[in-house]
Each structure stands twice: as C-alpha cells, then as structure tokens.
C-alpha cells in the first residue's frame, strides 16, 4: 500500500511549512515536497499606497528580519527619488550598513544559539523535549547567556538607529532620519550592561572555533548530510568581488564554480530571472532564464555568499574564510550543513565591520539626506540574513505604488530546500517500516540549515500544533500525531 507522510508544520523554522513524503507499495520513497501553505499577498496589499510608506509597511512581513525588508525597500525608494546607492551621503550609507550588519548579527546569533545548537549539542535523535533552547539553557547556561547578549547587542544597535528593536524606522527616501551621537556610540564601544563590540568579536571567534571543533568530531555527518550539487547566488562587492551584504553586483556560480551570472547590476535582476510556480506551494521557484528551471536554480544565504565571494575585507573573518575554503581545496562547497559554519564566519565579519563603522566619525555627521530627479521605478537588492532579497516597485505620477515584486531569500532557496527534503527522504526514510521521531527531525534539520522564513506574522496563542499524518493510496488517514 503506498503512503503519504505529512509533517505539518515544520518546527523551529520561521512560520509554517509542511513536508509530504510519498512512499510506494514497498515503503520506498517516490518523492518528497516542501510546501509553503501560508499566503501573504503583500505585493497586492501594498499597491495604492504612497511610495514613501513602502519601507515602513514591508517590515510587517516579518518579525525576525524587518530591518532587511526596511532597507531593501528603502534602496528601491531611493531610486524613485532619483538616487542610486552611491548617491546617498556617506554618513547615511554607513548608518544604514551598521543597521544592516546589526540585523544580520542578531539574526545569525538567534539562529545558531536557539535553532541550530540544540541539534548540534544534543544530536538530532535526542528527545525533542530536551532538544530545544530550553534544553540548551539548562545544560549550557553560559552558552545560552552569550546567545542572549549577542542577540541583544545587535538589537540595541537597531534600537539606537531605528528607535525600536522591531519595526523601527531609520531609512527615509534618500537617507536616514537621524545621526548617531557620541554618547550612543560609546555605549557599544565600552563594556556596560551590554558587553562591548570587542567582546562580541571575541565571542564570535569562540563560536567559529566551536563549529570547527564540532566539524572535526562530526565530519562524516556535516560533510554528507543533505549534501547535493547546486548553483550559488549572492551579492559581491562591485570593486573587488568580496563579500558584500548591503550593496553590490549579483554573481552566481554553478555547483563546480563556473560563473553563471557574471556580476550584473542588481537593478537588472529581472532580465536574468524567471519565477516558476507549482500547484502545491505558494512559494515560487526563481531560476536563471538562460539555464532553465531544471538547472538554473540557486542556493542563497551564508554558504552561497562565502562560496561566490573572492575574499572578506575584515582580517579575522577572511582568515576563517580561507580555512573554510581549504576544506574543499578551494572548490565550491555544496555541503548543506556547512551553512552553519558559513553563518558563523559571517557573524564574525559582522562584528568586525560593526566595530569599524562604530569607530568611524562619519556616522556622527548630520549630513543625512540627498535629493535627485524623480523616477517611476526602483529596485532594491540586499543580502538579508537568509540570502538575496529583492524589492521592486513601480509608481505612478501621483506617487502611488502600482506594482510590487518581492523575491525573498527563502523563495530563492525553495528548490534547494526541496532538494534537501528529497535527500533525507531517500537516504534516511526509504524502506523503513515506520517513521521515527529522529527521521522527522532529520527532515527539519535539513530545512533549518537554510533558516527559512515562511511568514511568522501571525502567532496567536493556541495556533501552532505539530501534526504528523500518514495517508494511504486512497487518501485515508492511517496514522496521525500532534505535538503541541
């Protein structure tokens, strides 16, 4: 009897997802899918609003990475008021970059300490009652406290610049709305109730060392689990091809490192990408036009960024990048679990860059705004914590948004996450008579490496059980489990 296994929703990822695994008569996996079943409709919702509202409204997409949406929209709206990224004043550019780095720093810290570390510290087959952040806090309280303070550090910088930890406002069309004061800056350069930026750098070095040591002890697992060839996409610095998170050119390579997108201007993204659709998911499937749907999809996020860049401008992170590249003899790294490693290298980069910007007197300047000649279209591309984020707006002569297209990081990773699910299903579940808790979590471990954000915008109490349902070939439920 063929069966369909449903894991719904996937745990410890942003928002709701569902995994279905289709088995044949011999319990062999026929296929597996990662569904996104929440429809947000934000691209329609925003139509008709004045363009200057976009950077504020789009933050409501997400409570975890609102700053990324805020800044991607702001970069697009800058163009509506006639400014390309380099046209902004240097203080405005640097304040925005500092805000962005703080967002990535706190988001990566959240992911590692609260989402990934339970699997790494306890093992994916550990009791789920223990294998969570509460378990980490109980057995590794010092680690948990560091996680809290690293996240808090990033959030305090966000609060300094944007006024609030979540859904604050910093960017305005053509600049930012406030400068940073000497007193505000000093708070982060010195140890007080929040440790200093130097402490953040030291702790970032520690967790990179942790993942390297973990890799040494668990090489077989990290090197092989859910590993598969893919393309890799992200922004790179326009001048030197180095890691770039705020503004750069789009570069992609195939799984062997051959360039498939050669440092194009980010505003030209729609000349190179199509978005495929499937009936079983609200999430689209972006791919490079010239390679087609089957070969043109790419991973985005930390692993892709470290793969495609030519270097990192901060010394400690660059040293770690070189060690990371040495693991694959300089070749492209397609090992999904190494995404955690790459994410921690980025944490270190963010900490070093934040220090550099905090010590730059330019951020104290009141030269915050520029104006240009009005346009009717703007594209903002940024590297969000989870990968390349694209905001594209068209406006009419009455300043109303007439069209909006968003390609969020998780959308870019859609095919990659489906590949991860298929890998686990075929390697770990095929031929097994029953689905165990460990198997369920392996699916989730593979997806969690991408830190997907599936819209967590609604969270009312009582709404999020974990359901596991087993169907026979006729669609009858033969087994069902609910985990609150």
Interacting residues toward other proteins by CB under 8 A: 11-14, 40-42, 45, 57, 60, 63-64, 110, 113-115, 118, 128-129, 132-134, 137-138, 141, 144-145, 147-148, 151-152, 155, 164, 166-167, 456-464, 466, 483-484
CA-wise closest residue to 297 among 160, 176, 407, 401: 407
When the beta carbons of 334 and 455 are compared against other proteins, the nearer one is: 455
Question: What is the nearest approach in angstroms of other proteins to the Cβ of residue 337?
Answer: 19
Is 184 part of any known ligand binding site? no
Residue 206 contacts by C-beta under 8 Å, 6 or more apart in sequence?
A: none
With respect to other proteins, which residue has the nearer C-beta, 118 or 231? 118
Question: Of 148 and 291, which has the nearer Cβ to other proteins?
Answer: 148
* Between 315 and 462, CB nearer to other proteins: 462
Which of 110, 261 has the CB closer to other proteins?
A: 110
Q: How far is the CB of 275 from other proteins (least distance, A)?
A: 21
Helix (H, G, I), strand (E, B) or coil at 356: helix
Q: Are 300 and 387 in contact (CB under 8 A)?
A: yes
Residue 446, CA distances (Å) to 86, 108, 153, 180, 443 in order: 38, 17, 29, 41, 5
Q: How far is the CB of 354 from other proteins (least distance, A)?
A: 18
453 is in an annotated binding site: yes
Rg of the chain taking only CA atoms, in angstroms: 22
249-253/231-236 β-pairing: antiparallel
Residue among 167, 467, 166, 415 at smallest CA distance from 274 = 415
Secondary element (H or E) of residue 104: helix 90-110
Contact 98, 354 (CB under 8 A): yes
For the CA atoms of 49, 55, 60, 64, what is the dihedral angle to 10 degrees?
170
Nearer to other proteins, 7 or 95 (CB): 7
In three-state form (DSSP H/G/I as H, E/B as E, the rest C), the secondary structure along 234-299 is EEECCCCCCECCCCCEEEEECCCCCEEEEEEEHHHHHHCEEEEEECCEEEEEEEECCCHHHHCCEE
Q: Is 287 exposed, middle or buried (0-12, 13-18, 19+ CB in 10 A)?
A: buried
Q: Is 108 part of any known ligand binding site?
A: no
Of the pair 119, 254, the CB lying nearest other proteins is at 119
**d(C-alpha 62, C-alpha 40), whole Å:** 11
Q: Which long-range contacts (CB under 8 A, 24 or more apart) does 39-42 make?
A: 39/282, 40/282, 40/455, 40/457, 42/404, 42/406
The nearest distance, CB 45 to other proteins, in angstroms, is: 6
* Min separation Cβ 165 and other proteins, Å: 9
Q: Which is nearer to other proteins, 180 or 454 (CB)?
A: 454
CB of 46 to other proteins, least distance (A): 10
Which CB atom, from 125 or from 360, has the smaller least distance to other proteins?
A: 125
End-to-end Cα, the chain, rounded Å: 30
Q: Are 5 and 18 in contact (CB under 8 A)?
A: no
- Smallest distance, other proteins to C-beta of residue 150, A: 10
Polymer length of the chain: 484
Spatial distance between the Cα atoms of 142 and 140, rounded to a whole number of angstroms:
6
Shortest distance, CB of residue 451 to other proteins, whole angstroms? 10
Of 193 and 373, which has the nearer Cβ to other proteins?
193
Quote the CA–CA distance of 177 and 155 in Å, as a whole number: 18
The least distance separating other proteins from the CB of residue 151, rounded to whole angstroms, comes to 6
Q: Give the nearest distance from C-beta 436 to other proteins in angstroms.
A: 16
43 among annotated binding-site residues: yes
459 carries a ligand binding annotation: yes
Indicate the annotated binding residues for Fe cation.
65, 456
Indicate the annotated binding residues for Ni(2+).
65, 453
Indicate the annotated binding residues for Mg(2+).
43, 62, 406, 459
């Amino acid at each position: 009897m063929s069966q369909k296994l449903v894991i719904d929703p996937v745990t410890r990822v942003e928002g709701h997802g569902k995994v279905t695994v289709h088995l044949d008569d011999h319990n062999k996996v026929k296929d597996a899918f990662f569904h996104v079943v929440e429809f947000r409709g934000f691209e329609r919702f925003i139509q008709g609003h004045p363009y200057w509202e976009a950077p504020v409204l789009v933050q409501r997409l997400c409570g975890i990475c609102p700053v990324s949406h805020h800044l991607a929209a702001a970069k697009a709206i800058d163009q509506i008021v006639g400014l390309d990224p380099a046209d902004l004043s240097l203080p405005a550019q640097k304040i925005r970059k500092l805000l962005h780095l703080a967002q990535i720093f706190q988001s990566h810290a959240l992911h590692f300490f609260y989402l990934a570390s339970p699997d790494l510290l306890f093992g994916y087959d550990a009791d789920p009652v223990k294998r969570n952040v509460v378990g980490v806090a109980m057995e590794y309280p010092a680690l948990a406290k560091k996680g809290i303070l690293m996240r808090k550090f990033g959030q305090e910088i966000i609060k300094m610049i944007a006024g609030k930890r979540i859904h604050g406002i910093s960017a305005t069309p053509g600049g930012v709305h406030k400068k940073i004061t000497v007193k505000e800056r000093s708070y982060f350069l010195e140890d007080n109730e929040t440790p200093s930026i130097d402490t953040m750098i030291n702790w970032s070095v520690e967790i990179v060392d942790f993942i390297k040591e973990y890799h040494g002890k668990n090489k077989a697992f990290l090197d092989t689990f859910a590993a598969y060839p893919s393309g890799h996409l992200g922004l790179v610095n326009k001048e030197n091809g180095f890691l770039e998170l705020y503004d750069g050119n789009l570069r992609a390579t195939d799984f062997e490192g051959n360039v498939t997108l050669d440092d194009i201007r980010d505003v030209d993204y729609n000349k190179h990408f199509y978005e495929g659709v499937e009936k079983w998911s609200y999430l689209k499937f972006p791919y490079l036009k010239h390679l087609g749907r089957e070969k043109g999809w790419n991973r985005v996020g930390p692993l892709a960024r470290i793969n495609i860049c030519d270097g990192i401008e901060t010394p400690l992170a660059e040293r770690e990048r070189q060690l990371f590249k040495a693991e694959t003899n300089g070749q492209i790294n397609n090992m999904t679990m190494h995404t955690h490693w790459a994410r921690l290298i980025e944490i270190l980069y963010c900490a070093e860059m934040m220090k550099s910007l905090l010590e730059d007197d330019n951020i104290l300047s009141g030269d915050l705004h520029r104006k240009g000649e009005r346009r009717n279209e703007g594209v903002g591309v940024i590297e969000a914590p989870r990968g390349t984020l694209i905001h594209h707006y068209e406006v009419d002569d009455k300043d109303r948004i007439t069209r909006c297209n968003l390609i969020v990081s998780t959308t870019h990773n859609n095919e990659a996450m489906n590949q991860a699910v298929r890998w686990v299903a075929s390697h770990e579940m095929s031929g097994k008579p029953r689905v165990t808790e460990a198997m369920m979590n392996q699916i989730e471990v593979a997806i969690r490496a991408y830190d997907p954000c599936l819209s967590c915008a609604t969270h009312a109490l009582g709404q999020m059980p974990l359901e596991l349902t087993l169907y026979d070939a006729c669609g009858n439920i033969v087994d069902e489990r609910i985990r609150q």
